[in-house]
Amino acid sequence: MTPHTHVVFAGTREEEFYMKLKGGKTYLELLQSGNGINRTVRETRAASEEEIYRQSLQRVQDAVRCGTTTLEIKTGYGLDLESEMKMLRVMDRIASLGIVNVVKTFLGMHAVPPPGMTEDSYTAEVMGRMLERFSERVDFVDAFCDRGGPSRHSPQTSSSQPPQGRA
C-alpha cells in the first residue's frame, strides 16, 4: 500500500527541488511565486484528460514495477469542479486496468483560494457543490490545512461537519 500519492496530474516540478537545494527557497516562497501546488494546478487545468492519463499511467506503472499493489490517489490539482472531475475520471480509468488497487481520495481543499475566490467562498464551494458530486465516487475526503492552504480558522471550515466519503 502506498498512501497519500498525487500521481494524477499534469506537468513536473523537478526544478523546484534545485530552487530549494541550491537557491535556499522555502516551499512557501515557491508557492507565493506561483510555483508548487499553484503551478501544478495551472498545468493540470490546461492539460487534456488524455494527457493527464498518459503522464499518470507512467507514474502508476513505475510504482507497480517497484512492488506497489495498492495506491491511494488524491485529487487536489484541479481545484475547480471540472478539473477535479477530470482527475477522478483518470483515476477510474487507471483502476479499470486492474494493474493496481486504487483508493480514491477527494482533496478539494489542497490550496486556496483559486484566483478570484476568497477562502470562505472556495470552502463553501468545496463543502457544497463539489462534495455533492464526489462523495459517492470516492473512498475518502481529505483537506490540507497549513500556510498556503486552507485555514482551520475559516468560519466555513471550522463550523462545518467533516465531509463523508463512500463507506
| pLDDT tens per residue across span 116-153 | 788 888 889 999 999 999 999 999 999 887 666 676 55
Report yes or no: 125 and 152 within 8 Å, Cβ to Cβ: no
Q: Which domain holds residue 110?
A: 2-8+49-159
The reply to whether 167 falls in a domain is no
The reply to whether 99 falls in a domain is yes
Q: If you average pLDDT over residues 48-73, what whole number do you get?
A: 98
The reply to whether 39 falls in a domain is no
- Percent of the chain past pLDDT 70, that is, above it, reads 84
Dihedral of CA 111/116/122/126: which sign?
negative
Query: Per the structure block, which three cell numbers stand in for 10?
Result: 499534469
- Percent of the chain past pLDDT 90, that is, above it, reads 60
The reply to whether 150 falls in a domain is yes
CATH number of the domain within which 85 lies? 3.20.20.140
d(CA 31, CA 109): 15
Distances (CA, A) of 41 to 62, 84, 104, 165: 23, 10, 18, 23
Q: How many domains does the chain have?
A: 1
The reply to whether 67 falls in a domain is yes
The reply to whether 35 falls in a domain is no
The reply to whether 96 falls in a domain is yes
Please state whether the predicted TM-score (pTM) of the whole model is above 0.75: yes
Tell me the pLDDT of the chain averaged across its residues.
87
What length does the chain have? 167
